[in-house]
C-alpha cells in the first residue's frame, strides 16, 4: 500500500475510483471469503460434520437404520477391538503395517533408482509415461490383471516358474504368499508417480554441482550418496509421507484381488475390516472406533517419518 501512495501523482485521476485503502481492504476481505465460500462450506459439511459424527459413533452402539437408535456406550467399542481375542490388532493391524511398509519401501527404492537412471537418458518423457501407465488404469484393472498373472494354472508368473523347472505357487491362496504378492502389486502402481515427483526434485539440483564433483574425481556412487540423496531429502520426505498415508488406508486393491480378506485373513487390512464392520455386519460403532484407531496409527507414523528425516538432515547439514 505504501508504494501506491508514492506513485499516486502519476495516476491521481484513476486512483479515486478505487477508493481508500481501508475500503479496499474490506472489499478484499469480503471477496476473499466469497471465493472461499464453496470450499469452506464443503469442508464444514464433508469434513467437520463427518468427523464429529464419526466421533459420536465411535462411542456408541448403532445398527445404522434409525438415527434415534444411537446408544452411547462409552469406550466399549475400543475395549472390544483392542482387547483379548480381537482380530483387529493381530492380524489386521499387523497386516496393514506390513502392507504399507512393504509397498512404500519397494516403491521408494525402485523409483529412486529408476528416476536417477531415467535422468541420464534421452526420451525421458517416453520412459516416464511408460512408468505412469499403471496409475492411469483403474484399480479394478490392475487387480484383475495381476490376479490373472498370479493364477496357478494359466498365469504368466507361474508359467515362467514352470518354464525354469519350478512348481507352481498359489500366490493368492497361500497365506504365506498372499500379502507379499499384493504388496508387489501396490508398489508396482505407486512407482510411476513417485518417479515423477522425484524427477522434479532431481532436476532442481544444479548440474554445476555434479560437474564440480566430477572434476574433483568423484565417482557416480559417491556423487549419489553424498550429494543427490541429501538434496533429495525434502522430496523423499514428501513422497514417503504421502505414499504411507495412502498405503495404510487403501484396500480397494485387496477387495479386488482377495474378496474377503484373503486366506486365513492374510490380506485383511484395517480399512477393509472397517468397511466390512459398517456395511456388511451393520456394526457402525465398531467401524468408527476402528477408523479412529487407524487414524492414530497414521498420525504416529507420519510424525515418526518427519522426526526421522529431520534427524537425518541434522546429521548431514
Residue 132 CB, nearest approach to other proteins (Å): 7
Q: Yes or no: say if 288 and 77 are a contact pair by the CB < 8 Å rule.
A: yes
Residue 200 CB, nearest approach to other proteins (Å): 5
Nearer to other proteins, 212 or 316 (CB): 212
Residue 311 CB, nearest approach to other proteins (Å): 20
Nearer to other proteins, 180 or 263 (CB): 263
97, 94, 102, 182: CA torsion to nearest 10: -110
Q: Yes or no: say if 290 and 274 are a contact pair by the CB < 8 Å rule.
A: yes
Place of cell 494359466: 154
Residue 98 CB, nearest approach to other proteins (Å): 15
Nearer to other proteins, 208 or 314 (CB): 208
Residue 314 CB, nearest approach to other proteins (Å): 19
Nearer to other proteins, 204 or 316 (CB): 204
Distance CA 214, CA 162 (A): 47
Place of cell 514352470: 162
User: What proportions of the chain, in percent to the nearest 5, are helix, strand and coil?
Assistant: 80, 0, 20
Q: Is the peptide bond before 306 cis (omega within 30 degrees of 0)?
A: no
Distance CA 43, CA 48 (A): 6
Nearer to other proteins, 117 or 304 (CB): 117
Phi, psi of 73 (to 5 degrees): -130, 20
126-128-129 Cα angle (round to 5): 65
Q: Yes or no: say if 189 and 136 are a contact pair by the CB < 8 Å rule.
A: no
Residue 247 CB, nearest approach to other proteins (Å): 11
Nearer to other proteins, 120 or 311 (CB): 120
Retrieve residue 48's grid coordinates: 467437520
Distance CA 76, CA 79 (A): 5
Residue 296 CB, nearest approach to other proteins (Å): 11
Nearer to other proteins, 130 or 308 (CB): 130
Amino acid at each position: 500500500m505504501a508504494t501506491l501512495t508514492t506513485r499516486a501523482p502519476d495516476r491521481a485521476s484513476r486512483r479515486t475510483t478505487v477508493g481508500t485503502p481501508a475500503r479496499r481492504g474490506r472489499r478484499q476481505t469480503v471477496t476473499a471469503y466469497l471465493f472461499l465460500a464453496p470450499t469452506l462450506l464443503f469442508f464444514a459439511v464433508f469434513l467437520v460434520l463427518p468427523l464429529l459424527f464419526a466421533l459420536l459413533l465411535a462411542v456408541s452402539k448403532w445398527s445404522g437404520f434409525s438415527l434415534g437408535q444411537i446408544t452411547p456406550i462409552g469406550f466399549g467399542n475400543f475395549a472390544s477391538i483392542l482387547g483379548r481375542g480381537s482380530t483387529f490388532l493381530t492380524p489386521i493391524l499387523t497386516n496393514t503395517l506390513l502392507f504399507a511398509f512393504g509397498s512404500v519401501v519397494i516403491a521408494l527404492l525402485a523409483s529412486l533408482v529408476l528416476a536417477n537412471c531415467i535422468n541420464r537418458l534421452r526420451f525421458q518423457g517416453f520412459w516416464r509415461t511408460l512408468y505412469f501407465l499403471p496409475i492411469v488404469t483403474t484399480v479394478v484393472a490392475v487387480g484383475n490383471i495381476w490376479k490373472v498373472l498370479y493364477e496357478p494354472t494359466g498365469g504368466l508368473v507361474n508359467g515362467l516358474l514352470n518354464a525354469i523347472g519350478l512348481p507352481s505357487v498359489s500366490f493368492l491362496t497361500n497365506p504365506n504368499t498372499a500379502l507379499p504378492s499384493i504388496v508387489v502389486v501396490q508398489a508396482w502402481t505407486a512407482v510411476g508417480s513417485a518417479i515423477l515427483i522425484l524427477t522434479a526434485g532431481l532436476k532442481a539440483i544444479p548440474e554445476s554441482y555434479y560437474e564440480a564433483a566430477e572434476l574433483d574425481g568423484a565417482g557416480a556412487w559417491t556423487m549419489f550418496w553424498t550429494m543427490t540423496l541429501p538434496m533429495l531429502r525434502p522430496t523423499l520426505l514428501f513422497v514417503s509421507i504421502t505414499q504411507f498415508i495412502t498405503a495404510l488406508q487403501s484396500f480397494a486393491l485387496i477387495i479386488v484381488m482377495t474378496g474377503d480378506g484373503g486366506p486365513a485373513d492374510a490380506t485383511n487390512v484395517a480399512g477393509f475390516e472397517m468397511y466390512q464392520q459398517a456395511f456388511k455386519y451393520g456394526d457402525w460403532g465398531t467401524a468408527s472406533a476402528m477408523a479412529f484407531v487407524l487414524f492414530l496409527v497414521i498420525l504416529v507414523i507420519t510424525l515418526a517419518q518427519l522426526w526421522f528425516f529431520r534427524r537425518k538432515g541434522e546429521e548431514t547439514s
